[in-house]
Structure 1
Amino acid sequence: MKNIKVPGTINSINPNTQSIFENPFVKTLTIAVFMGIFLVDMGLGLFEVFSTKESPLPSAVVLLIFAVMFIAGMVFYEKHGLDTLSSLVGGALAGFGFSFVFVSLVGGVQFALGGGISAIGWDQVISAVAASMIASVVMLKALFYKLQNHLY
């Protein structure tokens, strides 16, 4: 028996319809929400790290994250034509940056799960997410504007 596609069903292919993820408004809003939550989580993680004066992760895990990202960054920069010293520096910066981001994200999650958001207040956290969403859209649009003249 042939697979007959009936118009209006989920399986029908209509070239005139647009997926919800192809809608520029939905795409930009989704990215802004995730970046806003990401930035606020990092901020809460930094607050947690500085208030407790200890890392939310064991030092061995942080060192392992740094080592993996250092090697990956170094190989990436060597493949793109940088000399050995520059690729070492680029790998070190990539390792440090990713370790910093990961530690602050884990600290933010621990802060939130430990009841820290209730102590700060939901109004401030939601306001911070909203401000971060605006900042992320501005950063993305500025980055897109800067990169649109370069062909990669």
Structure 2
Amino acid sequence: MMVAGKINSRNPNSQSLFENPFVKTLAVAVLMGIFLVDMGLGLFDIFSTRSSPLPLAFVLMIFAVMFIGGMVFYERQGLDTLSSLMGGTLAGFGLSFVFVSLVGGVQFALGGGISTIGWEQVISAVAGCMIAGVVMLKVLSHKLQNHFY
């Protein structure tokens, strides 16, 4: 007996909702749009208040963990010690920047900052980031496909 509207259907010919390319692409686009706008709001908050949303000790801990993880990753990929140290440093700085700006964006949004900017601007920014994110993914996917195959 089949129940209408169930995601896990027993029909082997039916396609799961999460296997649908439209749903997958839309989900990735929405998440990327929200992610990018949140980072932008975080940067706006950091530059307008001229302070970090996280204490320096937490930022340093995030950097340390990402630095060590990046260094080990690059060493396992076969890079020499100096190159893996540089890769770990770049990974630490990059991921710390992303995390701090994301936390700043969440704090800005929860503090009522979106209502001061205006919901129309935020929704327009999410829409623009969704489009830009999908274009970037498709171009990157095409470039990597041509490079590796």
TM-score by length of 2: 0.94
Partners of 1:146 and 1:26 in 2: CA distance:
23
Partners of 2:20 and 2:9 in 1: CA distance:
19
Partners of 1:12 and 1:29 in 2: CA distance:
22
Partners of 1:34 and 1:20 in 2: CA distance:
17
Counterpart residue number, 2:131: 134
Match of 1:81 among 78, 98, 107: 78
> Once the two structures are superposed, what CA deviation does each residue of 1:91-136 show, in whole Å capped at 9, x if it has no partner?
0000000100000000000000111000000000000000000000
Aligned-pair identity in percent equals 78
- 1:90 is aligned to 2:92: no
Structure 1, unmatched stretches of 5+, are: 1-5
Equivalent residues in 2 for 1:1-152, closer than 5 Å: 6=1, 8-9=2-3, 13-151=10-148
Structure 2, unmatched stretches of 5+, are: none
Larger radius of gyration: 1
- Number of residue pairs matched? 146
Higher normalized helix content (fraction of residues): 2
Q: Deviation of residue 150 (structure 1)? A: 4.4
Partners of 1:19 and 1:151 in 2: CA distance:
30
Partners of 1:13 and 1:92 in 2: CA distance:
49
Q: RMSD of the alignment, in Å?
A: 1.3
SS in 2 for 1:149: helix
